[in-house]
Structure 1
């Protein structure tokens, strides 16, 4: 169990984190730990970051019942991911208690292939390092394509790309049973497929980091 000194240190961290610098804009902004419920609840969520034991992580999640434990637990992971993925081309988006990583196809895979680019390994190594440390989450890896080619071809390609990302994360000590892989084919575009730029945007893998519900 964390000591009083440990919790006091965590409280100080939360206080300092209430106002942070956005690494992209350089502007001061309120951290999500503060937004999700204040210092005491955030300390509860930070227990999982201070003590890597399963008991501590479960305690952090349990605090979500009374406050901001889950939000703070996810907030710490978001901060780590933003720090380590800055400049890699991977987008980090926060959606409530969930984190979404958007991995563009042009930096992740060779054209029309599900083999990972060697140049993308360092970014995935960083992702794996964070995911392995904060283990009280489930992961959904979804592959997407543009609309060039048949539906079945794109469905298969999207599934294989999602599986390639998941398989590599396993080599970085991320448990396979935490991950669900899904192929969306070309059914969930985020840009207009009528232009090359739009098609390039649609070719991607998205990794959702979701807090466990039990």
Structure 2
């Protein structure tokens, strides 16, 4: 998925409303991997709905979440924030997970979780380690306690090797995480994956330490339309 500005997000949101079933949306949103998770999980749909649309904001990280149209009320925002605070507190207990508060495209509180390659993967590999599986089981448990969220999984690499290789590895890393979450009870319809190769480094690729920081998986958790509707109605607990 390429970078979109806010206008493009709105245009694509309208287009997705006519895009057909979840599996076709998955294929359209992640054509690089050609439905890898669908094939690897017995037809579990990965990627669906407006909550799967993510864009980048120049300089301040990701603008994320469903482009629902219309402003979300202050009271609803407070309720969503409380719900996200609860989940963030759970996620912060997971060893090897860096958890941050971010803001989505509706100006609602969201969560960013970063797993580095030292936790998840050996260099140049996409197979999950035992330690990372333990962490992801806890992560899946937390996701299952709050069903009204969308989850976007980004795989990143350092710049070692060709673009083709790094695109493949970054996609496979994101997919490995998604598959394992599905195996542990997270609905595939909530998940979207994308490989970013080495396009979004967080450190210099000139040093071993910097390259290690760039080999990572980032996961964004945002309120889906159901949570927003419940918050607007005052029924979100």
Cα RMSD for the two superposed structures: 1.2
> When the two structures are aligned, how many residues end up with a matched partner?
148
Shift of 1:65: 3.5
* CA-to-aligned-CA distance 1:21-54 (integer Å, 9 cap, x gap): xxxxxxxxxxxxxxxxxxxxxxxxxxxxxxxxxx
Question: Which whole-Å CA distance do the structure 2 matches of 1:202 and 1:182 have between them?
Answer: 15
Shift of 1:213: 3.1
1:132, 1:172 within 8 Å by CA — same for their partners in 2?
no
Higher relative contact order (CA closer than 8 Å, sequence separation 6+)? 2
- Counterpart residue number, 2:87: 77
Q: What TM-score do the two structures reach when normalised by structure 2?
A: 0.61
Unmatched tracts of structure 2, length 5 or more: 1-71, 104-108, 227-237
Shift of 1:70: 0.9
After the TM superposition, which parts of structure 1 deviate over 3 Å for at least 4 consecutive aligned residues?
Answer: none
Question: Which whole-Å CA distance do the structure 2 matches of 1:153 and 1:146 have between them?
Answer: 11
Q: Is the partner of 2:112 in helix, strand or coil?
A: strand
**Aligned partner (choices 100, 116, 119) of residue 104 of structure 1:** 116
2:100, 2:111 within 8 Å by CA — same for their partners in 1?
yes
1:141, 1:166 within 8 Å by CA — same for their partners in 2?
yes
Unmatched tracts of structure 1, length 5 or more: 1-63
- Would you say 1:154 and 2:161 are equivalent positions? no
Q: Is the partner of 1:139 in helix, strand or coil?
A: strand
Q: What TM-score do the two structures reach when normalised by structure 1?
A: 0.67
Q: Is the partner of 2:225 in helix, strand or coil?
A: coil
